[in-house]
Structure 1
Amino acid sequence: MQALDHGRGAHPNSYMVEEIWQELAKAKYQEWERDSTKRSWELQNLQDSCEIALREKHVHEDAADSTSQQLADLKLVFAKAAEADIPTEVPDYLCCKITLDIFRDPVITPSGLTYERAVILDHLEKVGKFDPITRETLFPSQLVQNLAIKEAVGAFLEKHGWAYKMD
């Protein structure tokens, strides 16, 4: 991550910065995938052991009604535990309004909108010096790094490694 931040500082539009991000995202996704598979196997083994123990308890206590309810409750508990590893959608506030991709280097405009730095700089250079949503005049010097969103993205990616996957 430090190499990425250093690269951004020197050349925010550089292809190298994009390559660093892509390699970092690929490695982080592979790490999540490996860890997720391990967690899944561990949860499944624990669930199987718990179900066996409940069934053995049923045999010894002859409590069929409570055992079936406990087995149903157990399935719910393990389903809830597995939720963190199930890919969903990235919240809109963590995504660029132009690309709809998760932020890498978010910047905020004077109007309060946040964009991916490279994307908004490209827009300002190629399309015109205006905000693509508000249409207000906008210059690169007015863009400020959005540290709150950057931290929120970092926290989200830390918890949801599946979001590193790039199509």
Structure 2
Amino acid sequence: MGSNTGFLLTAAKQAEQLRKNGNNYFKKDRFGAAIDAYTEAITLCPDVPVYWTNRALCHRKRDDWTRVEEDCRKAIQLDNNSVKAHYMLGLVLMQKKEFAKGVNELEKALDLGTGANPKGYMDEEIWQELAKAKYLEWEHASTKKSWELQNLKEACETALLQKHFLDISDMEGFVDESNNSQFRQLEAVGRVFNKAAEDDIPTEVPDYLCCKITLDIFRDPVITPSGLTYERAVILDHLQKVGKFDPVTRELLYPSQLVPNLAIKEAVLAFLNKHGWAYKTD
């Protein structure tokens, strides 16, 4: 039993050294050598999820999405809380145009990452990819909806024209009245379908849903004692680098005084759910 434990400890130590070697190769853009090192580490200790996610990252650099998916799914089997595994699997699914599943994985990654480390370096990267994914999901659905509405509109207009011709044949002496009625009906159809398409037409995000510093739509809004709302990361950066004061009111302000603005956060989510175009980040 003792010799077996010693063997396992030695294997774990060797695997960890191989991981470090792989990391060094990765930093030098030697992705093939990094993959070999991580593969050896996996052979020695196949139950360590970080070896699988590290190798997946190398495959991602090579645009080998099939292998990225394989390694990420294995890592998730080993650790369902792996931020990197859910994140990269989300990217894979977006590549495959499986938008709903991709968004789901990216949302999992963001929730897990924010919960583990609210100021983690990956947090902003995941959010940017999630915003892109949400926009693509909206664009795909919007295109489909637009096509369906156009077809339905044309069918309604054709049906009205056919009805008009039948009415004319039955209404001698009332042609003008029939024409006016048809015109009003076609106008009404146009208004109905324009209204149906309104949510998919990009406009401007309301000011109250945007940060006063960045002018971007809120993601994690916090409110100050003076009643002003800012994006959390932005106001924290201001307090750290510029000074402990509110950038608008100039009143003394400390990070501990910031409170999540749940009402604005809910309003932002409701707006984004209705207007997916607002996810566009560039």
Alignment TM class, shorter chain as reference: over 0.9
> Secondary structure of 1:103's match?
coil
Structure 1 segments unaligned to the other structure (5+ residues)? none
For the structure 1 residues 30 and 82, does the alpha-carbon distance in structure 2 shift closer, same or farther, using more than 3 Å as the test? Answer: same
Quick check: which one's helix share is greater? 2
In the alignment, structure 1 residue 24 sits paired with structure 2 residue 127: no
| Counterpart position of 1:155 | 270
CA distance in 2, matches of 1:151, 1:36: 23
In the alignment, structure 1 residue 139 sits paired with structure 2 residue 254: yes
| Counterpart position of 2:144 | 38
Identical columns (%): 74
TM-score (norm 1): 0.95
For the structure 1 residues 143 and 6, does the alpha-carbon distance in structure 2 shift closer, same or farther, using more than 3 Å as the test? Answer: farther
Alignment of 1:66-145 (within 5 A): 66-145=181-260
In the alignment, structure 1 residue 60 sits paired with structure 2 residue 166: yes
TM-score (norm 2): 0.57
Q: Matched residue pairs, number?
A: 167
For the structure 1 residues 109 and 9, does the alpha-carbon distance in structure 2 shift closer, same or farther, using more than 3 Å as the test? Answer: farther
Q: Which amino acid aligns with 2:252?
A: T
For the structure 1 residues 3 and 31, does the alpha-carbon distance in structure 2 shift closer, same or farther, using more than 3 Å as the test? Answer: same
Q: CA deviation at 1:117?
A: 0.5
What is the root-mean-square deviation in Å for CA atoms of aligned residues?
1.2
| Counterpart position of 1:11 | 117
> Secondary structure of 1:130's match?
coil
| Counterpart position of 2:98 | none
> Secondary structure of 2:181's match?
helix
Q: CA deviation at 1:2?
A: 4.4
> Secondary structure of 2:214's match?
coil
CA distance in 2, matches of 1:126, 1:38: 47
